Structure 1
Amino acid sequence: MAEYLDIVDENGIPTDETVERETAHAKGIRHRTVHLWLVRKKDGKLQVLLQRRAKHKESFPDRYDTSSAGHIPAGSDYRESAIRELFEELGVHAKAEDLVYCGTRRVVYDGEFCGKLFHDRQVSKVFYLWFDADESAFNIDPAEADRVLWMNLDACIDGVRHNMFPHCIEMDELEILCSGLKVDFA
């Protein structure tokens, strides 16, 4: 079944037109995504929850990624989609008002993906949610991920910066997260 997305302007505001997800990526049509980071304080340090994408995922299999993320279906909004993705991927219930907005990330990528030309144009809002649970407490959807891992925020930044573990996390997103958390981006 085709997934439809709202076509949006440079600020992520829907234009009242929709496009199939595959067409959006084939033609570089701007659409929305949302990224949600779960954060907690443990032993005096900020930690972020990473999910390792499932081995069979078409994009970035076996790589660590944002706690939860996804494309926003046509007619939905950022917070509603973030809450839905969090529940679908990790089994976590949350309220939209508990999400803390960190900033907006604009993605422009042109290249090849899975043997096809791929033109990605995203307006992505980044949020965080204070949430403390053991890794074993998450109900992970095996279609999306195979495990979660709490990592100290400074170790995550350093690991992404120096490519010390397999990931698909962008440095500018970590910078946006740090800004929202009001902590120094090391």
Structure 2
Amino acid sequence: MEILDVVDETGAPTGETVERAEAHREGVRHRTSHVWIARNRNGRIQLLLQKRCMQKDSFPGCYDISSAGHIPAGDDYIPSAIRELKEELNVTVQESDLIYCGQVHKDVDSEFHRQPFHDHQISNVYLLWLDREAEEFELQTEEIESVRWMDYAQVRGMVASDTLPNCIIMEELDLIERHFL
């Protein structure tokens, strides 16, 4: 059972906690860390996208941020981001490797696996420069079906036109783009 901090509109914990499933069932605001992994190949910026496994409670089979995760109660954004990178992709980083890009507020009201899903999260968004082949990542198969590199411009176009099954918000792409070389 995952216990999360309930947070206010700025992302500050209120002192209350909630179980993850209840947060999504009831729409309780909570925090997540998002890490976009990027590389520069032949003068083109590429992003590593993960394809969520079909058993995920939300957005099964959709392309998503390189690494993301809920922040356990009592934890903070950076330690959670570092832990998720290790768990999901077996990538070890230091805090200084992560470039803070900004914060987003995401509100999703939908249904997955015939269950109501109300996700109200505040996420800190980070960029990590890492040039590694997709096959070199060790995936947490309970979470991730696969990973693939895509040119940034292609990702933007496919998200904007909704031609790629995804759960990516354009605001995050805008935030990370500001930090490209």
Q: TM-score range by the shorter chain?
A: over 0.9
**How far apart in 1 are the matches of 2:128 and 2:107?**
26
Question: CA deviation digits over 1:128-173, x for unaligned, max 9?
Answer: 1111101111111111112111111111101111122222212122
User: Displacement, 1:182?
Assistant: 5.2
Matches within 5 A, 1:26-65: 26-65=25-64
Give the SS at the match of 1:168: coil
> Structure 1 151/36 Cα, relative in aligned 2: closer, same or farther at 3 Å?
same
Contact 2:29–2:121 (Cα < 8 Å) also in 1: yes
**Cα distance in 1, alignment partners of residues 107 and 81 from structure 2:** 21
Alignment TM-score, normalising by the size of structure 2: 0.93
Q: Secondary structure at the match of 1:127?
A: strand
Counterparts of 1:170-181 in structure 2, within 5 Å, are 170-179=169-178, 181=179
Aligned to 2:101: 102
Partner of 1:115: 114
**Match in the other structure for 2:81:** 82
1:53 and 1:29 map into 2 onto residues whose CA distance is 23
Q: Give the Cα–Cα distance (whole angstroms) in 2 for the partners of residues 119 and 62 of structure 1.
A: 19
1:153 matched residue in structure 2: 152
Change (3 A) 1:10 1:116: same
Coordinate RMSD, CA, aligned: 1.5
- Structure 2 CA distance, aligned partners of 1:8 and 1:71? 12
Shift of residue 115 of structure 1?
2.5
Q: Percent identity?
A: 48
8 Å contact from structure 2 (residues 57, 112) kept in 1: no
1:62 CA displacement? 2.0
Alignment deviations for residues 102-125 of structure 1 (CA, whole Å, 9 cap, x no partner): 111101233333333332211111
CA shift, 1:58, in A, is: 2.8
Letter in 1 for 2:37: L
Amino acid of the structure 2 residue aligned with 1:45:
R
The alpha-carbon distance between structure 1 residues 60 and 110, as it changes in their structure 2 partners (threshold 3 A), is closer
SS at match of 2:102: strand
**Cα distance change of structure 1 residues 142 and 154 upon mapping to structure 2, 3 Å threshold:** same
Q: Matched residues in 2 for 1:40 and 1:112: separation? A: 34
Q: Distance in 1 between matches of 2:62 and 2:110?
A: 19
Kindly state the Cα deviation for residue 176 of structure 1 after the two structures are TM-superposed.
Answer: 1.9
User: Normalization by structure 1: what TM-score?
Assistant: 0.91
What secondary structure, in the 3-state scheme, does the structure 2 residue paired with 1:176 have? Answer: helix
Alpha-carbon distance between aligned partners in 2 of 1:72 and 1:166, rounded to the nearest angstrom: 25
2:135 is the alignment partner of 1:133: no
